[in-house]
Chain A
Amino acid sequence: MDSGRQQSRTYLGVPLFRPRVGFFELSSCEGCQLQLLNNEATLLDFLSLVEVVNFREAMKERSEDYEIAFVEGSVTREDEIERLRKIRENAGILVAFGSCACFGGVNQLKNRFSLDWVKNEVYGNSPIKTDFVRPLEAVVKVDLKIFGCPVKKEEVEKIITHIALGQEVVHHKYPVCMECKANENVCLFDIGEPCLGPVTRGGCDSWCPTNRAGCWGCRGPAEDANLEQMEKIMKENGFSPDTILDRIECFGGFSVYAEKLRKDLGDSR
């Protein structure tokens, strides 16, 4: 490691570690990586904080020498397991980047069906390889998760700054609902919209509810999330069981409860 490079910047007189980072993607829309390029106002500052050595979507050069690997997407095919294991070997810190990597994301909705059925529905009789969708931690050890579909760029920058400063990354324990209240939004239940804000982990600053779109739980459960109570409140507000299930199962963060709801609904889906 080049020590001159490491100490090129300081923060409050303390030399900064400028980590070499790589961005990688498995099955995904690549949107979480794009969120970084989409952050034009602070992109240049961000790039001074880290040294990007592998980012296929943006650059031609590639290096296997990196300290932090950001991996977007979920595991849906055998060859991705090998790729992921290789990244794990190379990286000091492996970050599950976005909901697909953390929980399977919308991809895991495929797991409601048999693999034969989904293959036939999309590719007919032609051979195509696919497996049940899994989050990264089902295959390798994950050191850190960054939640969200998409990830919130401010949160990503904060987390990377923490890593560069050698500080512990602590996720919000409270739910989206708290942030929504703090933003003084009208409660979506009052305007007839289903919302998982009360059980979903905060940190997005109630991104969807502030835009009057109910929360779909993309960041997974908040600590001590009470899903039975959530289901009860949704029912009291007149939402049908399949509307509740649609929300709970969308991103894979509540997979155990989604399974229960699916059983309650019978085998109709």
Chain B
Amino acid sequence: MKLDCNVNIHHLTRVEGHGNIRIKIQDGKLLQAQWEVVETPRFFEAILVGKRWDNAPWICGRICGICSIGHTLASIRAVENAFGIMPSLQTQKLRLLLKHMETLQSHILHIYFLAAPDFLSAGSVFPLIESHPAVVLRAAGLKKLANDVCDSVGGRRLHPTRTVVGGFTMLPDKKDLARFRERLADAAGDLLLTADLMKTFSIPDFTRETEFVSLKGAGDYPFIGGELISTDGVHKKEYEYRQMTNEYIVEHSTSKWSRLSRESFAVGALARVNNNFDYLLPEAKEVCLSLGLKPVIHNPYMNTVAQLVECIHVVKESINMIDELLNSPWTEPKQPVIAKGGAGVGAVEVPRGILYHNYEFDEAGHITRCDCVIPTSQNHGNIQYDLQELARKYAAEGMQDRDIELLAEMLVRSYDPCISCSVH
């Protein structure tokens, strides 16, 4: 039994944005285990006020440099729901393909560049270029494929150009799609190798019972729109999202926090797999179980494993969708947009969890109110309560401060937080 512990991490590395970890145990008593978000707010929700509807996806995509596609799509969905626009089947498929490739890109970035160095005893991916060249090349290849598809479908991998309210400004070249199909088939093999690599990682054995929130599957593993559920049995409509998120302000964080049935809840890949395992494609299910992920799992470190499972799912589903797109003639890329007064909500599962955009419009289609609830802000409370439990558990087991520090860093990283996004 160890009586004292002091961990102080200023601006945690290998995460997006700025956060600090502080743990203090004195005489066996936990005095503090805090996850501080110190990122500067950028006030997107205020910036949007007065802007015309077409500004929303363009500006809101810039909330985040990693999941700009997800923000753009949530923003578009909120505007389309407000104006009563139903996207064509072709638009829906292209958006989902784009979304899937962002998921693949972001998950691979996290699995290989942000999380893996901890399991391979490196400070970053850079020394792995020498020590594990095949691993780094595989990661770079998978990321490149995902980004190439995003360039082709969305116009640009970061801050997409073709995605607009009503559809797309332009359609991808079918020859490119056919080539991507071949590369995706190869990627499926690389992902199985990634699963083999992951089996060698020693994932900390830590659990804390958690409520998980995500979109609710209805036939398919859900990504864009639909109903909302939690493992504690809460079930709401998309437009009732505020009853799921319940945002509130805490003193030590510039990001808002959320709670539902308990003091906190979790969103993200693990939440989605926990809630929607049945809708995963068979290949993804198989890898999921082989990696010891049998829902419902309450170990937050398993989020990285869940991300890999989702990579397999999105690659397989993308191949299927490309086949469907190749087998039908292109229709009009974009439908006309008629602005009107009202409000709309768009809920989209982005890499780090469920994201909501909500706008209110005047009769001319100018935004009068804006609300964005970010996955990482929904996770902040859960990260903090996990940290408390982790500090208590491992200090009681007599673990050294520097080992607790590493486990705490790895815990926060496992949520793959997007901190500047959460403050927006």
Contacts and interface: CB of A to CB of B under 8 A. Distances in A.
**Which size bracket describes the interface of B in this complex?**
35 or more
A11 interface: no
Interface in A37-91: 37-38, 40-41, 43-44, 47, 52, 55-62, 76-77, 80
A60 B126 CA distance: 11
B41 A130 contact: yes
A108 to B, nearest CB: 9
Contacts of B51: 246
B68 A29 contact: yes
Contacts of B16: 30, 57
Interface string B7-34: 0000101111100000000000000000
Given A37-B109, A128-B41, A243 B125 contact: no
B59 A106 contact: yes
Nearest to A51: B126
Given A60-B117, A61-B124, A122 B140 contact: no
A65 B156 CA distance: 34
Interface in A100-136: 105-107, 109-110, 112-113, 117-118, 121-124, 126, 128, 130
B249 A123 contact: yes
B155 A211 contact: yes
A200 to B, nearest CB: 14
A61 B157 CA distance: 28
A246 B55 contact: yes
B162 A58 contact: no
B396 interface: no
A122 B43 CA distance: 7
Contact of B420 (A30, A208, A246): A30
B14 A58 contact: yes
Nearest to B48: A109
A31 B164 contact: no
Contacts of B124: 55, 58-61
A67 B62 CA distance: 29
Interface stretch (B141-149, B221-229, B271-279): B141-149
B140 A40 contact: yes
A127 to B, nearest CB: 9
Contacts of B50: 112, 269
A40 B161 contact: no
A117 B45 CA distance: 12
Interface of B: 11, 13-17, 40-47, 49-52, 54-55, 58-59, 62-66, 68, 105, 109, 113-114, 117, 123-126, 129, 140-141, 143-144, 147, 155-159, 161-162, 164, 169-170, 249, 254, 420-421
